[in-house]
Structure 1
């Protein structure tokens, strides 16, 4: 009788673990084996090259994929892994993919870390499948520009789920003379996005930037929102990145943030712009308010943010000592149409003072838009 009870308990525990494992595919965080800590068997490796398409648990691969251990050498270069001890390298036309259970119609963001190892023009293609005909949930992410001093950057990509199970693919479309050349990839994570709405207190959506992509714990370089991101599937809900370079999503655990737990750093001068289109009433007076500061990341010297709304603009200067801090600014304007584009960009190209050559810039946060009629006067 006792043995039967023990067996029943073990079966219940096994069932519970399976259920928890299934549910974990939609909980914010790393995908199953998203950090690649579980690797191929020795018989499935030829040196560091993976020889079987299912050798890496939870993943399927194709093309020239290497399983990289932190500290492994490539010529004179030491390969460093940002989280844990292992990562993968995607060589010529290589990809990794995984299927995950999601909520059909839900919005999600993918976060992953990547590092360039060879060519200057390396890029990665993020794909979601299946997808409807009107969706274009593919993203070419250029990774030749490094924004952190560690050599690793994290990137985000947003999508709408068109099925209850979707495939996530990260592909290196490049072809080099050396097939081993290609970016390192690590820490692939998924996050459910809750789409914010406009309110009486703020006509802008997600003006405090609290809703955004998953930030991988113990990574101190934030998450890049790549260029040419539209509002429909933005990993930063409500906002459009309409520039040649990325903007950086930062958190209060690793950076100085003016308000709340999240903010955006404009890291590439006038090539790093953030925008949102809002409904307005022609002829009505509005006031745009926002905070400008530094992220406490050695971004020292003069910083400046240009804000645009309707036909009006303002340039806000901020002298940074690289230790955090911010000022508040406002831009009054009269709407000239039913749709007004609010846009922010950095007018100064800046690099961190730690001699790493990393791009940096001003932080913006707590962005609010109100009509003068509804504005609460101080």
Structure 2
């Protein structure tokens, strides 16, 4: 009974880190009101005067879409297509203790439109354009994440908006969006001897229930050097990486990891401040995701401007992994923020010709005398409570 109570408490602590926002009609399975078109039509044009999408406001040209011929959606359900000036919007009440991360699905209207599909996603203070990339998945839909964090909007309502972008390549290719999730992530507060925050990547965007493709994370053009505005808490994204889970991929440790998939370059960056000079060790695990990614992996670990190490691994795509470690003398100013990055520049593909690459997990930054980095004033209990709770659940 005591063990059961402990598990309950640990899972409760994890729930304090995550807060899922319940968007109304997030998967568009509740149809628009006052539909007059034949219910078997795959694309139904909506009228802003007579139709209402439950939970959503919309403007411009918007169709209600049913999965079927040429259109693939999670769970073979429904979505909305955003035509010329097409836009959907929903507001929710945020909690000032959380940062919010959006997960959404993007799909082309047909295979011929795969390279001409994009949407503009807007939060309270910034926006980002996302493109469907045929080389990054086997499905005709892809899942992306975007940070809705806004320092100046911790009270009142937070607005989420997705709209079409002008497309001169093919005016018949308009994007379809589906399965929109918002997750609140609490700022970390747990202290440890690890200089990396979110070192095992357990804190990040939500996964789509009907997806085995992972979540694509892109560099934010509005805040290219900010880990605060990243959907992967406390890590900045370089290029495109794939956020993967242990349910569908080989994850070296814990439940989540990062796969470096885009090549030129693809990576993650953490900003660390060293309080004193001294010996520092960085440990990490490098592996493959068990996604038939065959090739020679090459990962560069860079600390500051001058210290660079490279690590190679021959992958046969079956979930192998290797632990690596480097030790160096930290002689940085205690007012200096030092960038530490894991980056891949070479390109590898799966047997389905999908871009893939090395998996990075379980990063550890250790100080020889037990000193903490400045980053620790923000470190949370998430990794400890999540991993311990999951371990207990596995072995009970």
TM-score (norm 1): 0.82
Write out aligned runs for 1:292-307 (5 A). Answer: 292-307=286-301
Structure 2 residues not aligned, in runs of 5+: 1-17, 372-396
1:66 is matched with which residue?
63
Aligned: 1:319 with 2:314: yes
Q: Per-residue deviation at 1:121?
A: 4.5
Match of 1:83, SS state, is helix
Are the aligned partners of 2:97 and 2:187 in contact in 1 as well (CA < 8 Å)? no
Question: Aligned residue pairs: how many?
Answer: 335
Write out aligned runs for 1:82-231 (5 A). Answer: 82-104=74-96, 106-117=98-109, 118=113, 120-129=115-124, 136-144=125-133, 146-160=135-149, 162=153, 163-176=155-168, 179-197=171-189, 199-228=191-220, 229=224, 230-231=226-227
- Whole-Å separation in 1 of the counterparts to 2:186 and 2:294: 35
Instruction: Map Cα deviations across residues 11-66 of structure 1 (whole Å, 9 max, x no partner).
Output: xxxxxxxxxxxxxxx95266221111111246355962112365211111111211
Structure 1 residues not aligned, in runs of 5+: 1-25, 73-77, 130-135
Aligned: 1:341 with 2:335: no
2:48 is matched with which residue?
52
Q: Which consecutive aligned stretches of 4+ in structure 1 deviate over 3 angstroms post-superposition?
A: 41-47, 175-180, 197-200
2:278 is matched with which residue?
284
- Whole-Å separation in 1 of the counterparts to 2:35 and 2:136: 38
Q: Per-residue deviation at 1:339?
A: 2.2
2:245 is matched with which residue?
251
Are the aligned partners of 1:293 and 1:325 in contact in 2 as well (CA < 8 Å)? yes
Are the aligned partners of 1:291 and 1:327 in contact in 2 as well (CA < 8 Å)? yes
TM-align CA RMSD: 2.3
- Whole-Å separation in 1 of the counterparts to 2:241 and 2:169: 32
Match of 2:35, SS state, is helix
Q: Per-residue deviation at 1:282?
A: 5.8
- Whole-Å separation in 2 of the counterparts to 1:184 and 1:143: 10
1:19 is matched with which residue?
none
Instruction: Map Cα deviations across residues 195-232 of structure 1 (whole Å, 9 max, x no partner).
Output: 23573320111011000001111210111111135212
